[in-house]
């Protein structure tokens, strides 16, 4: 009986927790299109850990902690990157994208059938904080309220929004939290589910500059050092917005629509604006804007003028767009879409409209090349060597999150469309220009 159960289990979709290292964000997102895989949102629900691309030394401890959070039996697959310092013994290494899914499925089957042993924990079996007996509030100890003693201190008291004095819990989220870009660490103080204070503890993957310079470049990064065709830029912009939508829909608990958005991101061609508009209507029909997205949350208007945050600025009514200063775009009659709602929903709507308009513009552009050099309007805003829009957006996170409930905070963070890879690549272009 057991072998039959095991054989059936081995054929189930493989639950994978991915860690997208430098330059692997899109490649990991594309795994959502694979039938045989399920990308889960927590390592507790996964059987396999996929470490894709390079991860800097400062986050290797976090990789180990993520690895140890997987339940037994578990295994790891290293895709690209060197995997150095990750201390995961005999994890299969894969270089070609085509080999990833077969390798994951094969490893999962062997794990379930028992022909491959589970991976031992990487971190030592010791409590990070030494046990000091029963704490000042009776925490720890044994029995109903204590369980296994940890000896961690209790959270401090702070004022609650109802005038009470309740615990303010410090929580660090990231660097490998499923809804945030890999490398982003938020240091939050939370009272109940309301964020009282937010700080950004890390905003990079910390990989070496040589790896950054060797990574594949998007048309927007290439536009910083040479001319790129407008059609290519605009199709890439539409695809980038659709990829963002796929991730954001997933974050809103609509994975099937997210997969459709991702498929659309692969399929759209110049002139396919109406397809995107149709898809936008579909998402609106789900009631997303009425029920799911926090209305009026995530406002940033006072901080936005001059920030050049692309869709975030334009959703708040600021016509900030480098394409307006580009004679090639002027010749095509380009006018940016602008809304004046400045909240999470407005950023969704604007990105849908912009993706559709970009595809229409790409169809009109013919062989024209963008006219500006050394700067470009990326899908996230004004991009120049060494200065990426995500870096400027990250500076706004503390003000954005304070006072929001956790679910709204997450929706607001997702609406910023942070891309730490783009930041790293902009720095590497800066280095290349300086050399």
Say whether residue 125 binds other proteins (CB under 8 A): yes
Of residues 7, 26, 1, the one with CA closest to residue 243: 26
Say whether residue 40 binds other proteins (CB under 8 A): no
- The residues in 69-98 that bind other proteins, with binding defined as CB under 8 A, are 69, 72
Q: Confirm if 198 and 9 have CB atoms less than 8 A apart.
A: no
Q: How far is the CB of 256 from other proteins (least distance, A)?
A: 26
| Structure-token pair, residue 220 | 């927007």
Distance CA 329, CA 351 (A): 19
Say whether residue 59 binds other proteins (CB under 8 A): yes
Residue 197 or 303 with smaller CB distance to other proteins: 197
Size of the site for other proteins (CB under 8 A): 52
Q: How far is the CB of 69 from other proteins (least distance, A)?
A: 4
Q: How far is the CB of 63 from other proteins (least distance, A)?
A: 7
**Judged by CB under 8 A, which of 51, 191, 288, 358 binds other proteins?**
191
**Judged by CB under 8 A, which of 12, 123, 335, 395 binds other proteins?**
123
Q: How far is the CB of 149 from other proteins (least distance, A)?
A: 10
Mask of contacts with other proteins, 157-176, x by CB under 8 A? ---x-x-x-xx-xxxxxxxx
Say whether residue 152 binds other proteins (CB under 8 A): yes
Residue 68 or 99 with smaller CB distance to other proteins: 68
The conformational region for residue 333 under phi > 0 = left, psi -120 to 50 = alpha, else beta, is: left
Find the part of the chain contacting other proteins (CB under 8 A) among 20-28, 39-47, 363-371, 391-399: 39-47
Residue 141 or 371 with smaller CB distance to other proteins: 141
Q: How far is the CB of 137 from other proteins (least distance, A)?
A: 7
Distance CA 66, CA 54 (A): 16
Mask of contacts with other proteins, 338-367, x by CB under 8 A? ------------------------------
Say whether residue 65 binds other proteins (CB under 8 A): yes
Instruction: Count the neighbouring beta carbons within 10 Å of the beta carbon of residue 204.
Output: 23
Say whether residue 44 binds other proteins (CB under 8 A): yes
**Judged by CB under 8 A, which of 148, 226, 285, 434 binds other proteins?**
148
Distance CA 134, CA 157 (A): 19
Of residues 432, 434, 429, the one with CA closest to residue 224: 429
Say whether residue 62 binds other proteins (CB under 8 A): yes
Distance CA 393, CA 425 (A): 16
Which residues bind to other proteins, rule: CB under 8 A? 42-44, 59, 61-66, 68-69, 72, 118, 121, 123-128, 135, 137, 139-140, 145, 148, 150, 152-155, 160, 162, 164, 166-167, 169-177, 180, 185, 191-193, 405
């Amino acid at each position: 009986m057991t072998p039959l159960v095991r054989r059936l289990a081995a054929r189930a979709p493989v639950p994978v927790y991915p860690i997208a290292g430098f330059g692997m964000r899109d490649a990991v997102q594309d795994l959502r299109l694979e039938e045989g895989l399920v990308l889960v949102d927590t390592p507790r629900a996964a059987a396999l850990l996929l470490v894709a691309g390079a991860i800097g030394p400062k986050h290797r401890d976090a990789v180990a902690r993520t690895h140890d959070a997987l339940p037994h039996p578990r295994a790891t697959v290293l895709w690209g990157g060197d995997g150095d310092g990750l201390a995961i013994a005999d994890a299969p290494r894969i270089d070609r994208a085509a080999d990833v899914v077969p390798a994951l499925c094969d490893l999962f089957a062997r794990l379930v059938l028992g022909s491959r042993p589970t991976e031992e924990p990487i971190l030592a079996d010791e409590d990070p904080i030494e046990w000091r007996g029963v704490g000042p509030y009776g925490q720890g100890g044994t029995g109903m309220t204590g369980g296994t003693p940890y000896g961690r201190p209790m959270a401090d008291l702070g004022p609650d929004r109802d005038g009470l004095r309740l615990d303010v819990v410090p929580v660090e989220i990231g660097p490998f939290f499923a809804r945030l870009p890999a490398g982003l660490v938020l240091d939050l103080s939370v009272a109940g589910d309301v964020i009282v204070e937010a700080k950004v503890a890390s905003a990079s993957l910390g990989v070496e500059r040589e790896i950054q310079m060797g990574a594949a470049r998007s048309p927007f990064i290439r536009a910083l050092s040479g001319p790129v065709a407008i059609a290519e830029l605009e199709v890439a912009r539409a695809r980038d917005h659709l990829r963002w939508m796929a991730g954001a829909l997933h974050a809103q608990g609509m994975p099937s629509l997210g997969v459709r958005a991702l498929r659309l991101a692969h399929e759209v061609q110049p002139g396919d604006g109406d397809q995107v508009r149709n898809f936008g209507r579909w998402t609106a029909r789900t009631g997303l804007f009425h029920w799911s997205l926090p209305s009026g949350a995530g406002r940033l208007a006072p901080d936005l003028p001059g920030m050049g945050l692309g869709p975030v600025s334009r959703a708040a009514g600021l016509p900030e767009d480098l394409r307006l200063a580009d004679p090639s775009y002027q010749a095509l009659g380009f006018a940016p879409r602008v809304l004046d709602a400045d909240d999470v929903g407005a950023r969704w709507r604007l990105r849908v409209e912009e993706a559709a308009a970009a595809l229409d513009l790409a169809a009109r552009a013919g062989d024209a090349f963008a006219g500006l050099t050394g700067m470009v309007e990326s899908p996230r805003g004004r991009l120049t060597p060494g200065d990426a829009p995500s870096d400027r957006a990250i500076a706004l996170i503390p003000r954005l999150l304070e006072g929001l409930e956790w679910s709204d905070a997450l929706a607001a963070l997702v609406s910023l469309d942070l891309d730490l890879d783009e930041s790293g690549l902009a720095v590497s272009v800066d280095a290349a220009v300086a050399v």
